[in-house]
Amino acid sequence: MSVAVVAGMQWGDEGKGKIVDLLAEKADVVARYQGGHNAGHTIFYRGKQFVLHLIPSGIFHENKLCVIGNGVVIDPQALIQEMDLLREAGLDFEDRLVISDRANIILPYHCTSDKSRESGGKFQKIGTTGRGIGPSYADKIARVGIRMCDLKNETWLKEILRATYDEKKVIIRSLYNHDLPPFDAVFTELMEVRDTLLRFVGDTHVLLQEQIRSGKNILCEGAQGTMLDVDHGTYPFVTSSNASAGGACTGLGIPPTQIDRVVGVIKAYTTRVGEGPFPTELKDGCGEMLREQGHEFGATTGRPRRCGWFDAVVARYAIRLNGIDAMVLTKIDVLDKFDTIRVCTGYRDGDRVYQDVPADPHILERCQPVYIEFKGWKENTIGIDSIDKLPANAGKYIEELSRLLEVPFLMVSTGPEREQTIRLGSLF
Ligand code: GDP
Ligand code: IMO
Ligand code: MG
């Protein structure tokens, strides 16, 4: 029996979807612990590309139990759409998808607040996905959220929704000059999806504890990445949940003493979507080349991702913060065409060189990355599945990264599909 957490080590989109799908082969349960449909996890299944937003990336393995934890915020329409898409692909998950009865629901006023705040010009723009994620987590913390279990009792649901709706209506009207859909429409929409959702709702903490007790392997799947973590990321340019490994404890109800391993997924370079500091960002042709070669466009919003070199300061920070004992390096093939590859080992700000990520976004914004250089390999690595077959310089790059970070690689990914992977160790 083992419980492992898989977390992103950068600003999201590290390739977690592909890696969780692969690691799920030997797991019994895959459980998503935070985030919402702001996430976009790309997986190739039977030659077709799927982008999952809420459903755990283990769903393509027919016998795996998939759990959406209490830490996730759920947009009912988004979830139902995703379920329909999977059904159309011939996937059967009716008896193996369980949604936590404690998970909070994203409501139309959350999206209105999110979008209005971002477009209003009055507030700090974060570059959110506009999916209502921040406002719904804010309501959860303010104890005015609506949870999955609330759907069970119509009278109670109407009562609590009414109180919150009336408050939001006034706030949204006076702050952003926007109207909400009428209360009856919001309530009726919830009632319409109620039965579809309730079929899948259960006490996922109890379920996971039973699975752990009976010796099963549990894979906890994080969305986003460490640098987008609300506590430890580049605040305020973060998402509104704990994307780092600690989020698995609160977001699934698995105590820290039951977590055995933490795997970090990291790209061979760096990307971020939205606003906020990004020390190794490349605003030149190299950045363009990374975007082009890596197809770096958001899986959820289609926005072009900002691209830059590998940042070992971020990687070390993520390793410490998450307790990462094995890493997966993805998208090494994207570097195939570069003459020189750079890795940032520190941030220079005047006379000072930071070895750690400073909390102050102004420092992060103005600091200059200190780089070491690697010779490129200028050969095709797409689809290589054995470390011996890699060009010598690619092997050196991987070895140096592991030495620099003092953590071994479990896998190296050389393409988006399952078999395009070099396996160096096993998790369970
Ligand atoms: P996630 O949010 O961490 O699951 O990552 P995304 O799915 O948003 O973005 C990763 C993108 O890179 C997707 O389009 C994947 O299909 C693709 N991908 C994953 N691993 C590799 C790889 O090793 N090489 C290449 N070229 N693409 C990859
Ligand atoms: P996956 O799981 C990359 C970013 C948004 C924005 C910030 C806040 O696919 O790695 P939000 O809508 O969450 O309030 O936006 O976080 N963001 C992501 N960036 N990958 C993601 O998820 C992201 N989810 C949110 O672009 O900068
Ligand atoms: Mg993504």
Q: Are 101 and 63 in contact (CB under 8 A)?
A: no
Q: Which residues are within 8 A (CB) of 380 and not within 5 positions of it... i.e. 6 or more apart?
A: 333, 336
Residue closest via CA to ligand 1's atom 28 equals 416
Contact 113 CB / ligand 2 (< 6 Å): no
* Burial class of residue 289 (count of CB atoms within 10 Å of its CB; 0-12, 13-18, 19+): middle
Could you identify the atom of ligand 2 that is nearest to the CA of residue 38?
A: 24
Question: Which fold would CATH assign to domain 266-423?
Answer: Adenylosuccinate Synthetase; Chain A, domain 3 (3.90.170)
Q: Does domain 2-101+201-261 correspond to CATH entry 3.40.50.12280?
A: no
Report pTM: 0.98
Q: Which two tokens stand for residue 83?
A: 């379920």
Alpha carbon separation from 364 to 229, 314, 322, 334 (Å, rounded) = 16, 11, 21, 26
Among this protein's residues, is 13 annotated catalytic?
Answer: yes
- Ligand 1 pocket test, pick from 48, 51, 331 with the greatest ligand atom count within 8 Å of Cβ, gives 331
Helices and strands, counts by H and E, the chain: 12, 20
Does residue 8's CB lie within 6 angstroms of at least one atom of ligand 2? Answer: yes
**Residue 80 gets which letter from DSSP?**
H
Token duo for residue 29: 């349960």
Report the pocket of ligand 1 as residue ranges, CB < 6 Å: 8, 12-18, 40-42, 295, 299, 330-331, 333-334, 413-416
Rounded Cα gap, residues 362 and 66, in angstroms? 41
- Of the options 3.20.20.70, 3.90.800.10, 3.40.440.10, 1.10.300.10, the CATH number for the domain spanning 104-197: 1.10.300.10
CB 146, CB 107: distance < 8 Å? yes
Greatest Cα pair distance in the chain: 67
- Ligand 2 pocket member 133 (CB < 6 A): yes
The C-alpha atoms of residue 428 and residue 133 are separated, in whole angstroms, by 33
From 21, 28, 37, 41, active-site residue: 41
* Cβ pair 414, 377 in contact under 8 A: no
One pLDDT digit (tens) per residue for the chain, 428 residues: 799 999 999 999 999 999 999 999 999 999 999 999 999 999 999 999 999 999 999 999 999 999 999 999 999 999 999 999 999 999 999 999 999 999 999 999 999 999 999 997 788 899 999 999 999 999 999 999 999 999 999 999 999 999 999 999 999 999 999 999 999 999 999 999 999 999 999 999 999 999 999 999 999 999 999 999 999 999 999 999 999 999 999 999 999 999 999 999 999 999 999 999 999 999 999 999 999 999 999 877 888 999 999 999 999 999 999 999 999 999 999 999 999 999 999 999 999 999 999 999 999 999 999 999 999 999 999 999 999 999 999 999 999 999 999 999 999 999 999 999 999 999 99
Domain residue limits, the chain: 2-101+201-261, 104-197, 266-423
Is residue 332 a contact partner of residue 398, using CB atoms and an 8 Å limit?
A: yes
**What pLDDT is stored for residue 120 in this prediction?**
75
Query: Ligand 1: which atom is nearest the Cα of residue 39?
Result: 2
Residues with CB under 5 A from ligand 3 (ion): 13, 40, 299
CA atoms within 13 A on the CB side of 110: 27
91, 157 contact by CB (below 8 A): no
